[in-house]
Amino acid sequence: MRGFVIVNANLGLLNPLQTSRVKTVALQLYRAGILVAIAFLVREHHLRLRIAGDAPIQLEEVRALLPKTAALLADDSPKMGLRVFDDGGREIGYVVRTAPFTDKIIGYQGPSDTLVVFDADFKVAGVRVRGSRDTREHAGKVVGDPYFLKTWDGMGWDKVAGLIDLEKAGIEGVSGATLTSMAVAEAITKRLRLADEALAKTRPPMRLHARDFGLIIVIVLALVQAFTHTRGRLWIRRGFQVVVIVYVGFIDGRLLAQSLVAGWAANGLPWHLAPGLVLLAAAALAVPWTTRKPLYCQHICPHGAAQELLGRVRRKKLAVPRSLAAGLRWLPGLLIGVVVVVTMTGLPFDLAGIEPFDAYLIRTAGWATVAVAVIGLAASLFVPMAYCRYGCPTGALLEFIRSHGSSDRFGARDVAAALLLTLVVLLRWQYGHVHDWITAQT
C-alpha cells in the first residue's frame, strides 16, 4: 500500500492523502458556490423587480429597436436600467423605462410608461410608449404619431436629461393629445435627470462607531478562545458567555439571523452603515469554512451561550428518541426553504418570527420571536442545546458551510442545498405566474 497511487486523467498522480484533500477542497468549493449562486440570484431577482416593477421589459420590446438584442442584464447602478447584450456577449445598448419613477407626472388623466432605448454610445435608438393610464384615445394618438416618438432619436443621454424647457427645445405635443404627449416627454427627461442626480450623490465614507468597535473586540476575543489554549479554561468561557449575552444580545442587539441574511441578499451589504456587523457575518462564514471552527455558534451567539448556561441548571436530561431526533434535524432546513420562498415571492411574512434573536431587542420584539426564544431556552433545560440542534436555520446555514476535514462526504445536506438552488431558479423564472397566483389568493 505504501507505493499505491490513484491515477486520474484530470488530477494526475495522487496518493490517497492528496486525493482526500482534493475532495475536501472540492466539496467546500461546491458548498460556497451554492451559497454564492443563491445570493446572486436573489440579488439579481430583486434588482430586476425594482427596475421592472409590475411590467418587466421584454426582449422583444428592445429587439424591435436594437435587432441584435440577445440578453438583458439588470444594472445595479443608480441608473436602474437594463444593459443590452448581443449573442457574442458584447454590450450594445442600455434601456430604461419611465415608470414607476415618474408616475406623478400626469397627462390628461394619468401617467404613461415609456421605454427609452439607447445604443452603445448612449444615443437614443428609439422610444416606445409601453402603457398608459391616460384615456385610450389620447394614448392611442401618441403611440400612433411617428414624428413625436422619433423626436428623440439620435439624442445623447446628457442632452435629453438637460431638456428642462421642452417648448424652447422644440418638443411639440401631439395634436389632440397635447397633455398626454407632453407628459410623456417630461417623464423621459425627468427619468434621466433622476438617474444623473442619483449618480452624483457620493456614498458617505465608512465609519466605525462604538458599537462596531464593540463587535470587533468580541470577534477578536472569540478568535482567541477558538484558536488558543484558553478554550479549555472553563472560567474564561463562562465569563465570556455572560459578556456575549449582555453586550451582543441586549446592548448591541445585532445578531445574525435569517431575516438579516435575506435582506442583505436582496438589497446588498450595509458596509458603510454597519461595518462591524458585516465583519461579524464574514467571520462567521469564513472561519468555519476554512478552519472547521464554528466561531459564531460556539463563541459569539448570545442564544447559544444562554442555552449552554441554562443547561447546567438541570443535570438530568431527557433522551430524544432517535427517530424523532432524525425528523427534527430537518426542521432548520425546511425553515431555510420558507425563507427562500418568502424572499423570492415577497409574501407578507415577518422572517424575524421564525427565530429567537429579535427577542433580545426587548422593546421592539414581536410575540412570535419572543415565543421561539422562551420555548428554546426552556427546552435547553431538558435537552442540551435543544434549539441549536433542532430549530436554528441560521446555525444550519453556518454548519453547512463548515468544513469537517477529510472525514467530510457529499451527503443529504448537499443534495438539499442543490434542491434549494433549484427552487430559487424556478421561483425567479416563474415569478410572474407565482406572483399572480399569490395575488389571486390574497
Query: Which among 134, 221, 214 has a CA at the least distance from the CA of 181?
Result: 134
Is residue 37 in a domain? no
pTM for this prediction: 0.79
Of 258, 220, 236, give the one whose Cα is nearest residue 349: 258
So what's the pLDDT on residue 337? Answer: 96
Are residues 232 and 372 located together in one domain of the fold?
A: yes
340, 377: one domain: yes
Q: Is residue 205 part of a domain?
A: no
Residue 224, pLDDT above cutoff 60 = yes
Task: Categorize the per-residue pLDDT at 280 as very low, low, confident or very high, splitting at 50, 70 and 90.
Answer: very high
The pLDDT assigned to 362 comes to 86
Pair (76, 156) in one structural domain: yes
Is pLDDT above 90 for 1?
no
The pLDDT tens digits of the residues spanning 127-159 come to 999 988 888 888 899 988 878 889 999 999 999
**Model pLDDT for residues 250-261, shown as the tens digit of each residue:** 999 999 999 999
Of 168, 200, 232, the one marking the end of a domain is 200
Per-residue pLDDT band for 13 (boundaries 50, 70, 90) equals low
Q: What's the number of CA atoms in the CB half-sphere (13 Å) around residue 177? A: 22
Is there a domain that residue 3 lies in?
no
Looking at residue 165, the DSSP 8-state letter turns out to be: S
95 contacts 62 by C-beta, under 8 angstroms:
yes
> Average pLDDT of the chain?
90
Domain co-membership, 178 together with 220: no
- Integer Cα distance of 184 and 171 in angstroms: 11
Choose one of 165, 181, 200: the last residue of a domain: 200
| pLDDT at residue 2 tops 60 | no
Report residue 433's pLDDT band, with 50, 70 and 90 as the boundaries: confident
Over residues 257-282, mean pLDDT: 93
pLDDT of residue 54: 67
Contact residues for 232 (Cβ-Cβ < 8 A; gap 6+): none
- Do residues 196 and 319 share a domain? no
Q: Are residues 268 and 398 in the same domain?
A: yes
Distance between CA 305 and CA 255 in Å, rounded?
13
Please tell me whether residues 239 and 151 are part of one structural domain.
no
In residues, how long is the chain? 442
Q: Which residues pair with 119 in a beta bridge?
A: 93
Q: What share of the chain has pLDDT > 90, as a percent?
A: 63
Mean pLDDT, to the nearest integer, of 158-170? 88
Query: Contact at 8 Å (CB) between 80 and 50?
Result: yes
Under the banding of pLDDT at 50, 70 and 90, the label for residue 5 is very low
* pLDDT score, position 357: 96
H or E element, residue 97:
strand 91-97
Average pLDDT, integer, range 118-132: 94
What pLDDT sits at residue 245?
97
The verdict on 75 and 188 lying in the same domain is: yes
Q: Considering 200, 218, 238, which residue would you say is the last residue of a domain?
A: 200
Distance, C-alpha 313 to centroid of its chain: 40
pLDDT in tens, 65-99: 999 999 999 898 888 899 999 999 999 999 999 98
Residue 36 placed within a domain: no
Domain count, the chain: 2
> Would you say residue 269 lies in a domain?
yes
Cα separation, 399 vs 294, whole angstroms: 7
Strands 112-119 and 91-97: antiparallel
Q: Verify that 260 and 353 share a domain, yes or no.
A: yes
Q: Model confidence over 285-296: pLDDT tens digits?
A: 999 999 999 999
Give the sign of the dihedral formed by CA 406, CA 410, CA 416, CA 417: positive
Residue 129 belongs to some domain of the structure: yes
pLDDT at 55: 77
Return the pLDDT at 172: 85
Instruction: Specify whether 221 is located in the same domain as 335.
Output: yes
Domain membership flag for residue 295 = yes
How does pLDDT run across 349-403, given as a tens digit for each residue? 999 999 999 999 988 889 999 999 999 999 999 999 999 999 999 999 999 999 8
Q: What is the pLDDT of residues 24-70, one digit of tens each?
A: 889 999 999 999 999 999 999 998 888 777 678 889 999 999 999 99
User: Which structural domain range is residue 176 located in?
Assistant: 54-200
Tell me what percent of the residues of the chain surpass a pLDDT of 70: 96
Q: Is residue 298 situated within a structural domain?
A: yes
Same domain, 112 and 227: no
The torsion angles phi and psi of 386, rounded to 5 degrees, stand at -55, -50
Confidence band for 202, pLDDT divided at 50, 70 and 90: low
Given pLDDT bands bounded at 50, 70 and 90, which one contains residue 3? Answer: very low
Asked whether residue 244 carries a pLDDT value surpassing 70, the answer given is: yes
Residues 399/35, Cβ–Cβ less than 8 Å: no
Predicted local distance difference test score (pLDDT) of residue 146: 79
Residues 194 and 243 in one domain: no
